[in-house]
Structure 1
């Protein structure tokens, strides 16, 4: 993994900034929610204190506190009178919470819903009975099958269940000692998929403020003991009171009303006595979004998911949980708004605080619980505040993270560029012969990479000085060895002029031959040094490279009749700017090397190819292969691969001179074995 990618991965740590900001916003949101809950509790305590000082507002009937729990029935306020047809369509549209009636085994037998409008009390009863038993006219009783009994403050009414038709409410008249029909109770029976349904109405004055319901389920229409029984009557047989909202309490509660605050007062059984404030169950108003406009709910959902902690239970419609209504402690709980809320989506939070209302009578040891004040408020304002802060935080941290990413990416790119420049300069600093190619670039920034760059420059400068010393060593040795070599040769000449025996003369001649060879070596070294100096002073000109190759090929064929020469080059002129004499000398060295290694009668191939940006000159001959590792060493001075023991006096200067000429033309000279292994190919690459 390169340095840029490493720094990019490291820059991903900047994403910790948005995460830390989200954690901070969650803590702030929790603190604001706790403050809102404390405010709701304070509001509830103020209202509870007012109601405790005036208990007649919440408990106008003191005798009711002594009634058993579960005996009372709640009367819902109806905006209009329902049609008493037995189907209950108007009740379903109101979505009222029914009262469940359980049998002796705890299984649901029926459910009832009560309401009042004007002077009438309305009742809807739905029973679960897969096999209803209807009244047998042959029976002596008024109801031999399934029966619904209605109890008021002063009378009991028996309603025989029918599959369809009007209700017959029968009551016992003691003065006549017979059952009579109560015409003021009107209603109808209908069959339902689960059993049967009853819808009726009766005057509020007829109930006397109390009402009880009992449902009898018989297996047969014989008037026997019911198989199942469910009732709202307590053990004393007296029906419970009808609980309904209190107008005076409603007026008192409206004094504490505030926008976005719902206040509810319930009695000790959780029945709503008064309520003011917003209704979160109102139908949602569809707001048409303009075409192409962004949907705000998606953005709000994202922010709420960002700040959400736990999944909240949905807000109950009519009755709050028992932990908010069935104890004497101040409690609080968070709910989620219903889906059909007209003000918010289903993921909005609603805080609910429940405060008990306890009488302040000092002469009572255990102060009775009169009811509870429930204050509920939406957290939309807090959520808007936190969402706005989350939006600003997200934009700020995203911009900061993006800026950090860009800066780190730019710094990584710049640092990677410097390293690549250093790598490129180090790779091209020294040519194949070990000479320094120009000056090594010097850095202008004093950091670790700059120090490394200066260290490379210093090292290469030392290597260049050492190479210059090695290059001048031959000329220095040649100059220093000529005088003792001349003394040695003159001494050998004088010794040979005298009388010597055969052994001494043989040794003297051998020493003379060695001196002659040493003298030729020194002359070759001097010539190479002079040739290198003359190459650097050569003049360039434009000439036809193809014509030069053709002329040289003909001269080589005449000079070496024992070998065949073959040339491949373009027929069109190939103009090149260089020194033709030096290139001819370079080809002379390559051809001389090829002739010395190629067998007699073999063909030496010469070729010129014009590429897009360069010329390629090749000289290929048959013969032995290059030893491994001599691809570049072959062009160094005093390097030879001839297997003649040094008797021929080849010092390896020919190819070295050819390499010097190639460097003068900014070209590259290389040697490689043929692909089939039959010989060697020398290639000169000249830039156009």
Structure 2
């Protein structure tokens, strides 16, 4: 993996900034939510303390406190009087909570809903009875089939069930000892697929502030005991009290009203007695808040799933205990609504078990806090993304700059030595004070020292040749004098061997001196325009005369081959290559010279049969004092011929290479020669 990509991956750590910001916002959101809930609880506690000091506001009916739980019925305020047709169409848009009536087995037998408009009480009763038994007048009984019983404070009414038509309410007149019809109680029966339904109205004064409803289900219309029954009449036979909103309590509660805060007071059974204010969700319900943005921030803040807030009722979990309760609910469009419930308990010290008068419930939307948190989250997200993006760009730029410096150092190190192994020089030096700058300067110093050592090696042959000539001359003169004297045969043989060795050593020194002088003379050679084809033809003819044991062949394109260079040096280069090829090629084999035109150069090659080049020697052949001949050094080959050939190729800005043939039959030396050196 490249350095730039590595640094880019490391720079992804900058993404931890938005994550840390989200964690911080979660803590802030939780702290704000706790603060809002504590404020709601404090408000509800203040209202509860006021009501506890004035219990007549929340419990004006003294008889209400002593009644058993479940006996009371709630009168819902009605915006208008329903039409008494038995169908209950005017009740459905109001979505009022209905009271379920359970039979002895706990199964729901009926549902009853009560409402009040002006001074009248309206009742909607729906009974689930698949086999209703209607009144049979032939029996002469008050209720021969199913019946509805309504108890008020001082009267007991019986309503025989009919399939359709008006309802008849009968009550027993003790003074006259007969049953009379109550004309002030009017209603209408209708049948349905599940049973039957009754819609009823009576004056509030007729109830006496108390009311109970009982449904009696018989198996047939012939009378007999009830098959099952369900109702709100308690065991003592006294009807429960009617519970309705209290005007004085409402006026007291309005004094605690605040914007976007709803206060509600319920009695001990959860019936709503007064309500003031709104939760502030109207703007949300109107669709002014973006649902998508709310969903994003909810995911961002990792809020837990909340129970839904009932649409037209108070949460039941906040009205069922004597303890302070707190809970968050899910409102419209995934909003949050906080609710705090505080019990209202009388302060009468003489009572051991202080009765629970009711509860104060405070509800408030978290829209304001949510808007504040979402605004902070929006700003934090933008700032974090901008910071992370800036950090990524800076790190990417730094990585690119660092990668560029490393690539430049890599190119300089790769191009410091040419194909022939010679140091080019001019290695760039960095002025930066970091580790890469120090590495660059270390490379430059190392290459400078290597260049000095290379120069020393190149002049070593001339120095050795100069230093060894004088002692070698002394040795040879001494051997000549020794050979001129009288020696026995055994001594003369050793003297001749010493003279042969001295002659060979003298030849080596002459070759070293010639190579050193030739390298200097090459740099001073003059270039000229000449015909390369004519030069090759002349050389091949002379090679044929000089190498009678090999066949020389020339392969060239027709016509002239104009070239610019030093023809004497090129002839010397070809002499070295042909001499090298003939020395390795078997006797009678062909040595082929060929030339072909390229775009801006000529490609000359010398091919011969024979042994292949050893592995790894393709580039070392052109170094000084390198030879692959297997003659033990007796022939006096020092490896200078190909070195001189490479020097001539470098002078012409050419490239000299050696490679084995693809079929493994021999070796090919190729010279790429520019037309304009």
CA contact (8 A) 2:346 2:356 kept: yes
Map 1:376-525 → 2, pairs under 5 A:
376-525=363-512
Partner of 2:239: 239
Cα 1:575–1:71, aligned 2, differ >3 Å: closer, same or farther? farther
Partner of 1:567: 555
Cα 1:128–1:281, aligned 2, differ >3 Å: closer, same or farther? farther
Residue 128 of structure 1 and its aligned partner are, at CA, apart by 2.5
Distance in 1 between residues matched to 2:138 and 2:571, nearest whole Å: 142
Residue 67 of structure 1 and its aligned partner are, at CA, apart by 0.9
Say whether residues 1:191 and 2:191 are aligned partners: yes
Distance in 2 between residues matched to 1:518 and 1:273, nearest whole Å: 130
Residue 376 of structure 1 and its aligned partner are, at CA, apart by 0.9
Distance in 1 between residues matched to 2:669 and 2:132, nearest whole Å: 114
CA contact (8 A) 1:607 1:619 kept: no
Cα 1:673–1:163, aligned 2, differ >3 Å: closer, same or farther? farther
Partner of 2:268: 268
Q: Say which is worse superposed, 109-118 or 503-512, in terms of deviation.
A: 503-512
Partner of 1:342: none
Q: Deviations over 1:111-169 (max 9, x none)?
A: 21111122322222222233333334443423333332222222222233334443333
Partner of 1:683: 670
Partner of 1:626: 613
CA contact (8 A) 1:605 1:621 kept: no
Residue 584 of structure 1 and its aligned partner are, at CA, apart by 4.1
Cα 1:281–1:303, aligned 2, differ >3 Å: closer, same or farther? closer
Distance in 2 between residues matched to 1:467 and 1:500, nearest whole Å: 48
Partner of 1:298: 292
Distance in 1 between residues matched to 2:284 and 2:31, nearest whole Å: 30
Cα 1:88–1:563, aligned 2, differ >3 Å: closer, same or farther? farther
Residue 621 of structure 1 and its aligned partner are, at CA, apart by 2.6
Distance in 2 between residues matched to 1:262 and 1:109, nearest whole Å: 35
Say whether residues 1:556 and 2:543 are aligned partners: no
CA contact (8 A) 1:71 1:239 kept: yes
Residue 487 of structure 1 and its aligned partner are, at CA, apart by 2.0
Aligned residue among 585, 590, 598 for 1:610: 598
Residue 539 of structure 1 and its aligned partner are, at CA, apart by 4.5
CA contact (8 A) 2:595 2:602 kept: no
Aligned CA RMSD, in angstroms, stands at 2.8
Aligned residue among 613, 622, 625 for 1:638: 625
CA contact (8 A) 2:281 2:367 kept: no
Partner of 1:331: 325
Distance in 1 between residues matched to 2:28 and 2:209, nearest whole Å: 51
Map 1:281-360 → 2, pairs under 5 A:
296-337=290-331, 339=332, 345=333, 347-360=334-347
Q: Deviations over 1:520-552 (max 9, x none)?
A: 2111111111111122334556x57xx415631
Partner of 1:531: 518
| Paired residue secondary structure (2:502) | helix
Cα 1:595–1:361, aligned 2, differ >3 Å: closer, same or farther? same
Residue 57 of structure 1 and its aligned partner are, at CA, apart by 2.0
CA contact (8 A) 2:540 2:554 kept: no
Cα 1:621–1:163, aligned 2, differ >3 Å: closer, same or farther? farther
CA contact (8 A) 1:489 1:512 kept: yes
Map 1:25-64 → 2, pairs under 5 A:
25-64=25-64
Partner of 2:71: 71
Distance in 2 between residues matched to 1:302 and 1:575, nearest whole Å: 78
Q: Deviations over 1:320-345 (max 9, x none)?
A: 445422333332221111x3xxxxx2
| Paired residue secondary structure (2:327) | strand
Distance in 2 between residues matched to 1:576 and 1:152, nearest whole Å: 133
Say whether residues 1:595 and 2:596 are aligned partners: no
CA contact (8 A) 2:543 2:552 kept: no
Distance in 1 between residues matched to 2:559 and 2:180, nearest whole Å: 135
Cα 1:156–1:436, aligned 2, differ >3 Å: closer, same or farther? same
Partner of 2:643: 656
What is the aligned residue count? 670
Q: Deviations over 1:44-96 (max 9, x none)?
A: 22222332333222222122111111111111111122222232222221121
Q: Deviations over 1:348-376 (max 9, x none)?
A: 11111112223334444443322221111
Cα 1:531–1:115, aligned 2, differ >3 Å: closer, same or farther? same
Cα 1:538–1:392, aligned 2, differ >3 Å: closer, same or farther? farther
Distance in 2 between residues matched to 1:575 and 1:79, nearest whole Å: 115
Partner of 1:255: 255
Q: Say which is worse superposed, 198-207 or 208-217, in terms of deviation.
A: 198-207
CA contact (8 A) 1:553 1:565 kept: no
Q: Deviations over 1:175-217 (max 9, x none)?
A: 4544344333333333334333322222222222211111223
Cα 1:226–1:676, aligned 2, differ >3 Å: closer, same or farther? farther
CA contact (8 A) 2:341 2:359 kept: yes
Cα 1:513–1:628, aligned 2, differ >3 Å: closer, same or farther? same
Residue 580 of structure 1 and its aligned partner are, at CA, apart by 4.9
Partner of 2:201: 201
Distance in 2 between residues matched to 1:10 and 1:146, nearest whole Å: 82
Map 1:666-681 → 2, pairs under 5 A:
666-681=653-668
| Paired residue secondary structure (2:65) | helix
CA contact (8 A) 1:150 1:157 kept: yes
Cα 1:568–1:232, aligned 2, differ >3 Å: closer, same or farther? farther
Distance in 1 between residues matched to 2:257 and 2:291, nearest whole Å: 29
Q: Say which is worse superposed, 378-387 or 409-418, in terms of deviation.
A: 409-418
Q: Which runs of 5+ in 2 are unaligned?
A: none
Q: Which runs of 5+ in 1 are unaligned?
A: 289-294, 340-344
